[in-house]
Chains A and B, each alone.
Chain A
């Protein structure tokens, strides 16, 4: 039986992170005074419900040598956005692809992220993707020049 209070504590522990030990779920279970299987079942359930979209290691690309991080923003006609977004999302170099609202002086409605070791590599991948999918739409490349903060989201 998993109470709301327990689910809340579990969520907090899962977003803070598990230890890198042989039995990480047992460690969490001890902190919650439940069995290891209860923890495993609850994570499985949260994944199935879609509340957890990914369970595993979250990496810092910069520290792994992938320091060119580019957000590409596109101005796509509204009626074509699904079709273009699917093409971007299916490209192996794209790690994230979101539709966002246009704003005054900001015509871009589709965003994708491309990471690479160096800038030229990212530019090359983008060019290849544009040619492959004939993505002849206005876009801009926003390379990151400095990272001020990067960590997992915390909701509770």
Chain B
């Protein structure tokens, strides 16, 4: 029998991980919802931004918060670059070609990172304390990452619902031609969406780099998980992705303490397959 305190600690860690996963999933989902192309290489952009945080903090001695802001800016710029260089030319191409192009980008980024920085695991060393709450030990870095992720998602929500540009982004996701008839240049909306989605990747990178070490294959660990969360929530469905992120992270965390970390992932992916049979349109899919 597992110590209940141990389980509680895992459950809380699951929630904390869920916050950052939700941020990643919302970023990917936002871009997919608007541009209608899945950025297979999304988490590899996160990886590039993690390297940026690592070098800025460990080599150039920047304070972490400043490096995090730089990562957000770098992520936004990368998002725009990916849109203009890779996505824009294939907007009307058949879906399989779009998949190949963004998949190709993934291998390009991974290989470039390996070439530039080798396969070493690098971590940002911060002397962050471990907090003890009622006999449970929680990492301060994870608590901070969770809080910032929540604030960022709230900011995204307010942006999408309270501003002209945010509402236009949601409108384009529903009917891009109709939004052109309203006077919005769809390509401008795409660029802004890609910048926001990229900025979220940059922020996620900053939050991940205080918890995990970075290496060229970082995307292989979090990429499939992020994609799975988006599909589970229903591609393009933001509330769905948010809920799915916490379900998945909880399964991984609890499965991890009950059996082993690997088994946690096995259970999560198995659950994903079962849920896809039960609700193929995603957890929160509307029945039309």
Q: Do A and B bind each other?
A: no
